[in-house]
Amino acid sequence: GENVEQHPSTLSVQEGDSAVIKCTYSDSASNYFPWYKQELGKRPQLIIDIRSNVGEKKDQRIAVTLNKTAKHFSLHITETQPEDSAVYFCAGTTGGTSYGKLTFGQGTILTVHP
C-alpha cells in the first residue's frame, strides 16, 4: 500500500517569510495529492490539491508542486501570516480500485510568529 512521509514535523517562521513542507510517497500509481490544514481542535480542511497530470498548481499565497519521477510533492506558502499557524497534512491515493482511500503524512506543525 501507499506510504507517505512528511517533513519537517515542526516549522517556525516569521510573518512574511515563506514556508515549505515536503512529502514523499511510495506508490508510483498514486495520482491525487491533497493538502489539509487543521487548526487546533478543528477538523482538517482541504486547502489545495494536485493531480498527477499537473506539475504545479497555485491558489493565491499557496502553491503545490509535484515531481512524479522523484515521487515527492511540496506545499509552498508565501507571505505567511499568523493565521496560517496550524497543522498541515499531505496525503496521497491511487484512486481507482483504492476507492479514494487517502494515506496521510504525519503532519507539520507550522507556527508563524508576528
Partner 1 sequence: NAGVTQTPKFRVLKTGQSMTLLCAQDMNHEYMYWYRQDPGMGLRLIHYSVGEGTTAKGEVPDGYNVSRLKKQNFLLGLESAAPSQTSVYFCASSYLSSYGYTFGSGTRLTVV
Q: List contacts with partner 1 (CB under 8 A).
A: 1, 6, 9, 31-32, 34, 42-46, 49, 51, 89, 93, 95-96, 98-107
Our CB check for partner 1 shows the closer of 18 and 28 to be 28
Least CB distance from residue 23 to partner 1, whole Å?
Answer: 11
Q: Which of 60, 59, 78, 71 is nearest to 22 (CA)?
A: 71
Residue 68 has phi, psi (to 5 degrees) of: -70, -35
Rounded Cα gap, residues 36 and 90, in angstroms: 6
Least CB distance from residue 98 to partner 1, whole Å?
Answer: 7
Which of the 8 DSSP states describes residue 79? S
Our CB check for partner 1 shows the closer of 81 and 99 to be 99
Least CB distance from residue 75 to partner 1, whole Å?
Answer: 14
Least CB distance from residue 3 to partner 1, whole Å?
Answer: 11
Our CB check for partner 1 shows the closer of 13 and 32 to be 32
Our CB check for partner 1 shows the closer of 14 and 41 to be 41
Rounded Cα gap, residues 90 and 37, in angstroms: 9
Q: Which of 15, 25, 107, 92 is nearest to 61 (CA)?
A: 15
